[in-house]
A and B are shown apart, each in its own frame.
Chain A
Amino acid sequence: MGLRWEVPLKNLPYLLGGALLTLRLVGISVVFGIFLGIVGAMGRTSKSKLFHGIATAYVELFRNTPFLVQIYFAYFALPTFNIDLTPGQSALLVMILNTGAYMSEIIRAGIEAVHKSQVESGYSLGMSYLQVFRYVMLPLAMKAIAPPLGNQIISMTLSSCVISQISAEDLTFRAMMLENRTFRSFEIYIVTILIYFLLAEFLYIVIGYINRKVFGIAAKQKLPTMI
């Protein structure tokens, strides 16, 4: 059986448009995920038992269940509570919550690495907890946070393909549509995988550049991250 690579190649603009949709979703979820991650990390390091408990439950629940199950939960189970979300909304909601949980853990590890004396000197200057967090802990922790944060963004990009399972439109969903029309599964999905690969390498280069220029971190080898 001959391979017909012209099928995915002729539809490359359609697929690359899907890659942009994927990048857009990842971009939105990273922005909100970082906010959520900061709140989560504050909870994880907070002395208030309630805040700590909620943050820990959130982080551990999202880190220890599969992304696919979270997506299905949002799409199939939330309507039980009369929360009806479109596929796109469910996908984005879960992507934000999932990234937020991983980022909480990254940010927490970063601020725990900040030396205690730095925090105490902040308090002794009369700063509140929020001020210490904002002006002392976060800037000092940024160097430890930036590299794993970048890895998290890349693994989010790769695992975001799962949202196609509830027919939210992204690169993989477009590949599935193309496959439904043409039945050339092998060629289409190989090209799709290559697009994801290039996307990941592109992000890796961009993030490495930002880490070097903004945070002064030397290029390091990729750390293993998995969702």
Chain B
Amino acid sequence: MVFGKLSVADINYLWRGTLLTLRLCLTGIGLGLILGVMFGILRANPRRTLTKMIATVYIEFFRAVPLMLLFVVGYFGIISLGYNVSRFGAVVGAISLYTGAYIGQVVRTGIESVGRGQWEAGVSLGMSYPDTLRYVILPQAVKIMIPPAIGIVIGVVKGSSLASVVGYVELVLAGRHVIQRTYAPLLVMGTIAMIYFVICYPLSILSKNLERKL
């Protein structure tokens, strides 16, 4: 038996893992969007303010560290300090901070890609900085931000697999449990790879098409 067999219970278990992966991704993306828009706007501020510095440090730091180690510190690290955190809480916290940094960079690049003339037009109409940003710049910038933001969503879906490292039973860890029960690594890992592919591939095509339309 090269492929092995999966029982209904195994398939249900993998399905539950898929749902937990999706829950983790959606929560992470939701919180990451809030963080990213906030810090991205702060960082796009042309004046050197303290908030801009904080946003820069946040974005540059989290984009230059491995996600897996953020999970490990967020769960094992915090627990070793004697604090009690839930797996889901630790994992969501880490993935949100990570996503927020990437989204923040996209927001900042989007804002900065809108021409200077638009800023000047806003100012010459007597609009304040927040008003210009809100009514002139952001509506134009959002279009530019969407394709790379979808790329980040794909990255989050794939990165969420690393939550298995701290024992959060998402798709990959569910798969490893099923492998231990059935001893069918090829079938299970192949199925898991396909599930990720089915989620990510349409998104990557969407991102490519939107980018072409710009």
Bound form: Cα–Cα A162–B159 in Å:
10
Nearest chain A CB to B108's CB is how many angstroms away? 9
Known: A66-B161, A72-B176, A184-B80. A193 touches B196 (CB 8 A): no
Answer yes or no: B192 CB below 8 A from chain A CBs: yes
Answer yes or no: B65 CB below 8 A from chain A CBs: yes
Counting chain A residues whose Cβ lies within 8 A of the other chain, the interface size class is 35 or more
Answer yes or no: B82 CB below 8 A from chain A CBs: yes
- B66 & A158 in contact (Cβ 8 Å cutoff): yes
- A68 & B154 in contact (Cβ 8 Å cutoff): no
- A185 & B152 in contact (Cβ 8 Å cutoff): no
For B77, what are the chain A residues with a Cβ–Cβ distance below 8 Å?
185-186, 189-190
For B158, what are the chain A residues with a Cβ–Cβ distance below 8 Å?
64-67, 226-227
- A186 & B2 in contact (Cβ 8 Å cutoff): no
Known: A67-B158, A73-B193, A184-B80. A224 touches B102 (CB 8 A): yes
- B68 & A1 in contact (Cβ 8 Å cutoff): no
- A65 & B185 in contact (Cβ 8 Å cutoff): no
Bound form: Cα–Cα A51–B157 in Å:
29
Q: Give per-residue flags for B191-203: 1 if the beta carbon is below 8 A from chain A beta carbons, else 0.
A: 0110011001100
Interface with B: A33-41, A136-144, A194-202, A207-215, which one? A194-202
Out of B61, B64, B76, B192, name the residue touching A189 (CB < 8 Å): B76
Q: Give residues of chain B (169-206) contacting chain A, Cβ–Cβ below 8 Å.
A: 172, 175-176, 179, 185-186, 189-190, 192-193, 196-197, 200-201, 204
Answer yes or no: B78 CB below 8 A from chain A CBs: yes
Bound form: Cα–Cα A158–B69 in Å:
10
- B172 & A186 in contact (Cβ 8 Å cutoff): no
Nearest chain A CB to B98's CB is how many angstroms away? 9
In the complex, residue of chain A having the shortest beta-carbon distance to the beta carbon of B196:
A65
Q: Give per-residue flags for B88-113: 1 if the beta carbon is below 8 A from chain A beta carbons, else 0.
A: 00000000000000100110010000
Answer yes or no: A165 CB below 8 A from chain B CBs: yes
- B73 & A193 in contact (Cβ 8 Å cutoff): yes
Please, could you name 11 A-B residue pairs with CB atoms under 8 Å apart, sorted by A? A1-B81, A63-B200, A64-B196, A64-B200, A72-B172, A77-B190, A158-B65, A158-B66, A193-B65, A197-B61, A222-B105
Residues of A bordering B, CB below 8 Å: 1, 3, 60-61, 63-70, 72-73, 76-77, 79-80, 154, 158-159, 161-162, 165, 172, 179, 183-186, 189-190, 192-193, 196-197, 200-201, 204, 221-222, 224, 226-227
